[in-house]
Chains A and B, each alone.
Chain A
Amino acid sequence: MSVEFPDELIAHALTRYVQPFGLEGEIALVTLDNQRDHTKPTSFGPAGLRGLGAALDAIATRTPSVRAIAITGKPYIFGAGADVTGMPTLRSQEQVREVGRLGHEVFSKLRDSAIPTFAFINGLALGGALELALHCHYRTLSGGARAIALPECSIGLVPGWGGSWLLPHLIGPEQAIRVIIEHPLSQNRMLTSQQAHRLGIGDALFEPADFLERSLEWAVSVLNGETVITRAPITGGPEWNLAVTVGRKIVDERLHGAVRAPLKALELLQLASTAGYAESAEAETQALAELLMGDECRASLYAFNLVQHRAKRPVGAPAASLARSVTKVGVVGAGLMATQLAVLFARRMLVPVVMTDINPEALAAGVARAHADIDRLVEKKRLNSIAASRIKRLISGSADRSDFADADLVIEAVFEELDIKRQVFTELEEIVTPECVLATNTSSLSVSAMAEQLRHPQRVVGLHFFNPVAVLPLVEVIRGEHTDDATLATAFAVAQQLKKSPVGVRDATAFVVNRVLLRCMNEVLAAIDSGTDVATADSALNPLGLPMCPLALLDLVGLPVALHVLQSLHGSFSERFPVSATLRRAVDLGKTSLLTWRNGVRHLDPDLVTAERVSEALTSDQLRDRVLVALAQEIGLMLDEQVVSEAADIDLCMLLGAGWPFYLGGITPYLDRTGISERVIGRRFLPAGVATAP
């Protein structure tokens, strides 16, 4: 029996025969359409592929024969590639190979066609859909298409329907490596149609207003010989090999071999320099089968699903109807965090945002910084000047907190000291309405403790953003002991209006991301304290391919902030979070980093080297094991304490708040598949098969 995806939302291939002006004969115009609106992009499963194959076969029987075959998509969408929701249902390499070969077989009809074939890329074109276009003889691009990519490597796969052979032969190996490997590893960068045109992925670029008509006119000019497309010949040989070598270096530096997919993709790109299409296609199919039946890909698909779905429908949020509307926001403080928050609230919610600070100079500087941030967005063309003026106008500074009297939400971003924050809230309560939500951006202090002295403690909630606020999508929404449903619902609603992904978290020290990161970092610091050299310590986690080495992350966070969070954690969980002597000393000495670099090698800052640190030097492997054990233990405890309801939320937090990679699935799939969770806490975090190979 041939392979099927359950509940496949079928990409129908709808054929119409059109007669453009200036052409003797017809063009078969095929629309890929799953007959849903653009919010459900068309994707390919086995049934859709078979349907396309049948449509192409039917076109071939038309008499008189058509002059050309052109493929386009429903409005705004050319196609989103292979059906990601169907992929996890494949249970064997044989099934994967069948889907892989099916795609090759159907798409090759376009490449091998004696009649010229065209792809009119009218919008989003990802993965398999872009590969389909690459099989066509000619491609036009709509100026409105902003997401053109081969993102397979980002979910632990490789382009499997011809992309790894067709793309380098079209645009050269160097650019192909950029598109197939570097972009998916760089926050899944995508090409605009203008960029794709410059790279040579498309032969012609037309404005969206009459894209299809212009594409057909262009096709006619090609068919009539008035337009001749000449493409620069791509040759194999030393240049190709060099490109692959450079690509391999980039992947190694970035990932340290942590994930196979980009390496597989490089192998396929290398093979494409000498192999013919058929050989490459078979290699692609085999790679696909191995990867899709592997843990990294399964963890990636799990992570993809969390980010696409769970992040948008937060678990445990009260009914959205309980949320109060927020028409004015106050920000207490004018520091770096406060400024970022002010810009975010004004830009996304388009409501007045008042910043206050006891220091008038700091306040003026904060407002000026917010305005400068907005100007920078205009320079980068992320905002137009009219919208920028509006947003700037919304942000004001006031020395007088009584300007908060009509605010619906006030968020504090003052110094991380419980007493100070309690005092701020107590003073605010004299000014604001009883319903006004008081939010804290604390990274580790108790939300409940900040609220308990208030007359209306039920309106206090934690809204924990991550630095840089504009980049990291996570917001931990912290429910304190007293927080009521309306307040919590408002916090979730606000986070969503800010286009962030809220995750509900119980009020436990340092919440999720910081607790996990600090536990991890603290094991590294402990190793340094006890004599492991910093180069070994700092690179011990390289095989995980995390976005940053622990000590670099420490520098980014800032040593005093890290120490402060660590002390909070130490206060709650003293045994598991000892305060590193090295870190304390570095802060005391006013250091900005534990490291100094000599000849490209990391060394501990000489001022931090003490006589007593000799006890126990660890190898990288030993330290990595300690870290992973610590992570499993800590996450197990967090679930026992019900900091979040499910391991999936821990993973979601690490993906969105720390940028941990998809192929780790966040972290718990990795701990499960390496057997560490069972070794440490005696059970898996997720049932087998959920984020691991079946």
Chain B
Amino acid sequence: MSKAEREIVFVDGVRTPFGKAGPRGLYTHTRADDLVVRCIRELLRRNPSLPPERVAEVAIAATTQTGDQGLTIGRSAALLAGLPRSTPGYAIDRMCAGSLTAVTTIAGAIALRAVDVGIAGGVEHMSHHPMGDGVDPNPRFVAEQLVDESALVMGATAENLHDHDSSLTRERADAYAYASQRKYAAAVATGRIQPDLVSIATRDPELGWGLATADEQPRPDTTVIALAGLRTPFRPHGRVSAGNSAGLNDGATACLIAAAEAAAELELPAAMRLVSHSFAGVDPEVMGIGPIPSTEKALHLAGLSINDIGLFELNEAFAVQVLMFLQHFGIADDDPRVNPWGGALAIGHPLAASGVRLMTQLARQFEQRPNVRYGLTALCVGLGMGAAVIWENPHYADDMRPDATKVGAR
């Protein structure tokens, strides 16, 4: 490790319950920035040993950065959350990997000793900002055949993945989606999901105040048969349906990232140690394969192999895209290391917010699984990208590293 680099830890993460986008969704009348603000405040409350003025940066991701997600949301959310005015903030965008990028960007600043402690998070209010709203793709994309038209429609890129390999059938995708719903339902029933959540007061002018305390998207009662009957809106007789795709959702996430030494000084527990991360570009028409090269690169940087990874938190934008990843690395569709508490197919996927959800959930699992040393969080990203972060479990029982105790387990 060079002199400039520092060990980086994930301290804690929270998220709002994820709502369904649309006029009757959980957060139709709730502002996007209020969702983030609530996450930031809850993080600070859960970590009372952190003086707010020690938060040196707030990076918040949103894919659409207008309206209630505009005004440099990292800065405006920091002010609204009551952080000191001396705390700067910024907005970040890498579509679905937005908050993951917020984490790695803060991590980079920590490594360079520009920052000791930062907040990274993301928000996407797809009710207020429907996908593609206000987007003006350059006509050159199509005119010069820079990308196929399908590249700009995420569902169409998922159909393209199915074309890739005849074994990637709709049945496999539906079976995977069904399993995701079952795993999530089981995790809720055993109280594994709730600790990550912050409640959100939701006001409806007609109905009065309510309180969001659970994800709205999951369909625990769905069946394989029901899934098989769903329409395939992206192609006639296609394979991609609402059941094997993540939903359109509203939600926010935030987490605390710190230099290990600052965490120790401030008595902040280290939930995960950042090992390596990587982003990769792929063909935009098959953006779903993105996590494959980004994971390979991250493994290479870490000097690890896929077999070292004991837990996978993969974003489930589309079932097929996860299946392709698993197939590539020779992992079974139902491998228990993969998304043990279910994934975005059940929980939902408020684009830029999702990366930190994966991390928060992985951190929670690390705590319960001291036999696991390494975990992976990865997402595919529109316009052909993949993102991956490899984390080490500070609770790992057989950790031989001499400085491991310094980080301190929860």
Contact = CB atoms under 8 A, between A and B. Distances in A.
Interface of A: 14-16, 18-21, 29-31, 33, 35, 72, 74-75, 207, 209-210, 212-213, 216-217
B72 interface: no
A74 B209 CA distance: 8
Interface residues of B, number: 22
B314 interface: no
Which A-B residue pairs are the 5 nearest by beta carbons? A31-B208, A14-B208, A212-B201, A18-B211, A16-B210
B213 A20 contact: yes
Contacts of B210: 16, 18, 29
A21 B213 contact: yes
A29 B37 contact: no
Contact of B41 (A72, A74, A209): A209
Given A209-B41, A209-B80, A21 B199 contact: yes
A213 B201 contact: yes
B208 A210 contact: no
Contact of B211 (A14, A19, A207): A19
A463 to B, nearest CB: 39
B253 to A, nearest CB: 16
B213 A19 contact: yes
Contact of A213 (B194, B199, B205, B207): B199
B87 to A, nearest CB: 15
A33 B201 contact: no
Given A213-B201, A216-B199, A20 B38 contact: no
Chain B, interface SS category = mixed
Given A16-B207, A21-B197, A31-B209, 16 more contacts: A15-B208, A16-B211, A20-B199, A20-B213, A21-B199, A21-B213, A30-B208, A31-B203, A31-B208, A33-B205, A72-B209, A207-B82, A209-B37, A209-B41, A210-B37, A213-B200
A89 B201 CA distance: 38
Contacts of B206: 14, 35
A16 B197 contact: no
B209 A213 contact: no
B81 interface: yes
A213 B82 contact: no
A41 to B, nearest CB: 16
Contacts of B213: 18-21
User: Of B37, B42, B213, which is in contact with the most chain A CB atoms at under 10 Å from its CB?
Assistant: B213
Interface string B182-203: 0000000000001001111101
A14 to B, nearest CB: 3
A209 B209 contact: no
Interface of B: 37-38, 41-42, 80-82, 194, 197-201, 203, 205-211, 213
A20 B211 contact: yes
A492 B62 CA distance: 47
A75 B34 CA distance: 14
A213 B213 CA distance: 10
A33 to B, nearest CB: 6
B193 to A, nearest CB: 11
A209 B81 contact: yes
6 contacts: A14-B208, A20-B213, A30-B208, A212-B211, A213-B201, A216-B199
A interface majority secondary structure: mixed
A15 B194 CA distance: 25
A212 B211 CA distance: 9
Contacts of B80: 209
A210 B205 contact: no
Nearest to B203: A75
Nearest to A208: B82
B81 A29 contact: no
B96 to A, nearest CB: 27
Contacts of A18: 210-211, 213
A213 B38 contact: yes
A29 B211 contact: yes
Nearest to A75: B203
A575 B247 CA distance: 87
Nearest to A217: B199
A188 B381 CA distance: 59
Contacts of B197: 21
Given A21-B213, A209-B80, A29 B208 contact: yes
A209 B82 contact: yes
A251 to B, nearest CB: 40
Nearest to B80: A209
Contacts of A216: 199, 201, 211
A74 B80 CA distance: 20
Contacts of B211: 16, 18-20, 29, 212-213, 216
Contacts of A209: 37-38, 41, 80-82
In this complex, which of B42, B194, B211 has the most chain A Cβ atoms within 10 angstroms of its Cβ?
B211
B199 A33 contact: no
A461 to B, nearest CB: 42
B199 A35 contact: no
Contacts of A72: 209
A29 B37 CA distance: 23
Contacts of A14: 206-209
A29 B205 CA distance: 14
Nearest to B199: A213
B52 to A, nearest CB: 12
Nearest to B198: A213
Contacts of A31: 203, 208-209
B41 A210 contact: yes
Contacts of A35: 205-206
Contacts of B200: 213
A16 B208 contact: yes
A14 B210 CA distance: 10
A92 B81 CA distance: 52
Given A16-B208, A31-B209, A209-B81, A21 B201 contact: no
Contact of A33 (B38, B41, B208): B208
B372 to A, nearest CB: 27
A21 B194 contact: yes
Contacts of A19: 211, 213
A210 B194 contact: no
A210 B38 contact: yes
A212 B82 CA distance: 16
Nearest to B211: A18
A689 to B, nearest CB: 38
B319 to A, nearest CB: 31
A33, A207, A210: most-surrounded residue (chain B CB, <10 A): A210
A313 B201 CA distance: 38
B79 to A, nearest CB: 11
Nearest to B40: A209
Contacts of B194: 21
A217 B211 CA distance: 11
A618 B198 CA distance: 75
A217 B203 CA distance: 17
A193 to B, nearest CB: 16
A31 B209 CA distance: 6
B209 A212 contact: yes
B212 to A, nearest CB: 9
Contacts of B38: 209-210, 213
A337 B205 CA distance: 48
A350 B207 CA distance: 42
B209 A29 contact: yes
Contacts of B41: 209-210
Contacts of B82: 207, 209
Contacts of A74: 203
Nearest to A70: B209
Contacts of B203: 31, 74-75
Nearest to A37: B205
Contacts of B198: 213
A27 to B, nearest CB: 8
Contacts of B205: 33, 35
A222 B204 CA distance: 27
Contacts of A30: 208
A185 to B, nearest CB: 36
Q: Which residue of B38, B42, B203, B208 has the most chain A CB atoms within 10 A of its CB atom?
A: B208
